[in-house]
């Protein structure tokens, strides 16, 4: 769960705050868990929701202005280098993304939430999350390409 927090948070301190609040929420709600086998998924969802809410409620949080979609992103999908990635480097790159890019990329690309769920949690539109996701992917792809070129 700490990994979830690190991905969504911009730094370690914020990650610890989210982790702490997340576990408290888990202990408070543990009685509502009906299937013990679903504990991990249930906890993950709590931490994800909490992380998204955390940044949504932050006064200095992201400004969810509608963004134009990037049409050229999908055509470059096959150009991604297929190398083994060091998770610490990926984490560092994700944390360096602008906040709204980081949140949407984590929620959609890694944790598998739908655009509708993300839009609801972040109180914005699906088209906006899609546009943000495209830009986030492009930034990550650029980073991977740049990393590959250096090799």
Partner 1 sequence: MEKNRPNIDQLIQSSFDAFEPQLPIGIWNNIEDKLNQNDASKRKKVLTWSSVAAVVFIGLSGMFYSNIPDNATVDHKTGIKISNTELKSGSFENKLSQSLPIGNGNSDLDLNDVDLNNSLDNKDVKTTGKKLVVENNRNITEIASINKNSVVPNLFDINQEPILTQENYENMNEANFDFLNSKKLGLINTKILQLPASSQIPQRPTKQKRSIWAFEVGYDQNQTAINYAVNTQLSKYVHKNFVNRIKEGEFALAAPQLHAALRYQFNPNWSVAIGLGFSQTRISQSFNFQDSTPVSMAQGNEADINGNYPIFGYVGLGMPVAYNGNQSISMVSIPLSVGYQRPINRSWAFSSEISMRFNKLLTTTGKTLDYHDLSLMDVPNYRSQIWSAKLSIGAEKRVSLRDIWGVRLNTQGALTPFNSVNSPVSNRGWSIGMSVFYRYSIW
Describe the chain by its helix, strand, coil percentages, rounded to 5: 75, 0, 25
Kindly state whether residue 11 participates in binding partner 1, applying the rule CB under 8 A.
Answer: no
Site for partner 1 in 17-36 (CB under 8 A): 19-20, 23-24, 27-28
What tokens appear for 39 in the block? 């504990």
Site for partner 1 in 83-142 (CB under 8 A): 84-88, 90-91, 94, 105, 108-110, 112, 114, 137, 140-141
CB of 140 to partner 1, least distance (A): 6
Burial (CB < 10 A; 0-12, 13-18, 19+), residue 17, is middle
CB of 77 to partner 1, least distance (A): 5
What tokens appear for 12 in the block? 């370690």
Alpha carbons 16 and 95: distance in angstroms, whole number: 14
Cβ proximity to partner 1, 20 vs 96, nearer residue? 20
Short-list 7, 6, 9, 41, CA closest to 26: 41
Kindly state whether residue 10 participates in binding partner 1, applying the rule CB under 8 A.
Answer: no
* Contact mark string toward partner 1, 39..78, x via CB under 8 A: -----------------------------------x--xx
Task: Please give the size of the binding site for partner 1, defined by CB under 8 A.
Answer: 35
Alpha carbons 60 and 91: distance in angstroms, whole number: 22
Contact at 8 Å (CB) between 143 and 91?
A: no
Site residues (vs partner 1, CB under 8 A): 2-3, 6-7, 12, 16, 19-20, 23-24, 27-28, 74, 77-78, 80, 82, 84-88, 90-91, 94, 105, 108-110, 112, 114, 137, 140-141, 144
């Amino acid at each position: 769960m700490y990994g979830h927090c690190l991905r969504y948070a911009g730094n370690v301190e914020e990650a610890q705050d989210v982790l702490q609040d997340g576990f408290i929420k888990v202990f408070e709600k543990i009685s509502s868990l009906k299937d013990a086998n679903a504990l991990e998924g249930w906890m993950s969802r709590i931490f994800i929701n909490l992380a998204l809410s955390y940044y949504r409620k932050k006064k200095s949080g992201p400004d969810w202005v509608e963004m134009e979609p990037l049409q050229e992103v999908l055509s470059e999908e096959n150009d991604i280098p297929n190398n083994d990635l060091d998770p610490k480097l990926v984490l560092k790159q994700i944390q360096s993304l602008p906040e709204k890019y980081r949140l949407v990329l984590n929620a959609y690309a890694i944790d598998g939430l739908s655009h509708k769920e993300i839009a609801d949690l972040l109180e914005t539109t699906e088209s906006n999350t899609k546009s943000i996701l495209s830009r986030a992917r492009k930034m990550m792809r650029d980073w991977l390409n740049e990393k590959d070129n250096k090799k």
